[in-house]
Amino acid sequence: MITFEDVVKVYPGGSTAVDHLSMELPTGKTTVLVGPSGCGKTTSLRMINRMVAPTSGRILIDGRDVAGQDEALLRRGIGYVIQHAGLFPHKTVLDNVATVPMLLGKTRREARTAALELLERVGLSAEFAKRYPAQLSGGQQQRVGVARALAADPPVMLMDEPFSAVDPVVREGLHREFLRLQKDLGKTIAMVTHDIDEAIKLGDHVAILREGGHLAQFGTPQELLDQPVDDFVAGFVGRDRGLRSLSFDTAADLPVRPLTSAEDAELVLDDAGRPLGWRRGGAGPLEPTAGVFTTDDSLRMVTDLAITSPVGVAVRVGADGKADGLVRHHDLVDFLAARRDRRAAERGA
């Protein structure tokens, strides 16, 4: 756990970067610091590994004040990923990744063997090992940057805008791999981004900071979307936050109707019971279903299916692919209204 205790950072000249920040970043979770430029998010991150010294207040990692520890040893125990990766241009990819293990006293051979495994882990084949950073694309460099930060298997990782220097398609892929890796590794991660969508997608918790280094709100992505504490947070998380918040609920509790319940349209199944499409009015051409959902999919996806379906009905399938229920537009509206009332009651109680 990383704890900020009333941390203040005032730069020489009097500008306040971080203003009485207190928060806890839980162990094994990803906490994303997000906010507009000048909100002190990067300064806050860099105070964790003492790249920046706080003016007052304390930062503790698992209860130990970072200020009391040897700077270099502290940093070797914390993975550090920065924008543009910051790879050493004069070293091969393999030696870049082997850096921290060698600082920690591993032999070159041991460090390189471990580095090779890590490269594979972040999705780079062994052929990249002997290349130099200048020979890699931006996305590949960023993967090497992540591998380098993971090399000594640190429990804590700091990531400063790790995915902002690559194009959207590559970023999407890196996001997926980040989530997959983090699911396996369970590191305590503090990440900085200016992109609220990235924060909501990758963070278990999100800290929204505002100009002048104030913490506006700290919570799970869903809490921020459902209950923004003020207009600043509401504005920052965006206009379609209602729709986005549906991404965090699965369709597990959503009631379905029997397959035969669709009005003036018939769901046509194949021999195995899998949906083929819709046929309207007992005759006419088969129209595609626009997709199906399972109980693991999000309410947002169900909503999307109901909107795009030719007959306004989303089709649920079981794990075996057999159709087992239907959801109509107004079923969703009723369900969401009931959910809203229930939550309001919970909050009131």
Q: Which of 9, 75, 171, 201 binds other proteins (CB under 8 A)?
A: 75
DSSP 39-50: SSHHHHHHHHTT
Tell me how far apart the alpha carbons of residues 107 and 120 are, in angstroms, rounded to a whole number.
Answer: 21
Among 17, 47, 100, 119, binds other proteins (CB under 8 A): 100
Single residue of 4, 80, 218, 236 touching other proteins by CB under 8 A: 80
Which of the ranges 97-105, 205-213, 307-315, 323-331 carries the binding residues for other proteins, by CB under 8 A?
97-105
> Whole-angstrom Cα distance, residue 172 to residue 198?
10
122 binds other proteins (CB under 8 A): no
Among 84, 194, 280, 322, interactor with other proteins by CB under 8 A: 84
CB atoms within 10 A of CB 63: 7
What are the phi and psi torsion angles at 324 (to 5°)? -135, 10
Which CA distances in Å does 171 have to 68, 100, 164, 184? 37, 26, 8, 20
Of 38, 86, 155, 273, which lies in the binding site for other proteins, with binding defined by CB under 8 A?
86
Do 98 and 122 touch, CB atoms closer than 8 A?
no
By CB under 8 A, tell whether 131 contacts other proteins. yes
Q: How far apart are CA 347 and CA 349, in angstroms?
A: 5
Judged by beta carbon, residue 92 or residue 309, the one nearer other proteins is: 92
Mark residues 135-174: x for contact with other proteins by CB under 8 A, - for none. Answer: x------------xx--------x----------------
Q: Which region, judged by CB under 8 A, interacts with other proteins, from 89-97, 223-231, 258-266, 270-278?
A: 89-97
Report residue 32 as tokens.
């994303």
Radius of gyration from C-alpha coordinates of the chain: 25
What's the CA gap between 53 and 34, in Å, rounded? 21
Does 67 interact with other proteins (rule: CB under 8 A)? Answer: no
Asked if 90 interacts with other proteins (CB under 8 A), we say yes
- Binding of other proteins by 251 (CB under 8 A): no
Q: Measured between alpha carbons, how far is 144 from 112 in angstroms, rounded to an integer?
A: 14
User: Residue from 31, 42, 99, 140 that binds other proteins (CB under 8 A)?
Assistant: 99
52 lies in the binding site for other proteins (CB under 8 A): no
Question: Binding of other proteins at residue 74 (CB under 8 A)?
Answer: yes
Least distance (Å) between residue 132 CB and other proteins: 3
What is the Cα–Cα distance from 271 to 228, expressed in whole angstroms? 49
Q: Hey, how many other C-beta atoms are within 10 angstroms of the C-beta on 195?
A: 15
- Residues 207-236, interacting with other proteins (CB under 8 A): none
Which positions touch other proteins (CB under 8 A)?
49, 51, 71-78, 80, 82-92, 99-100, 103, 130-135, 148-149, 158
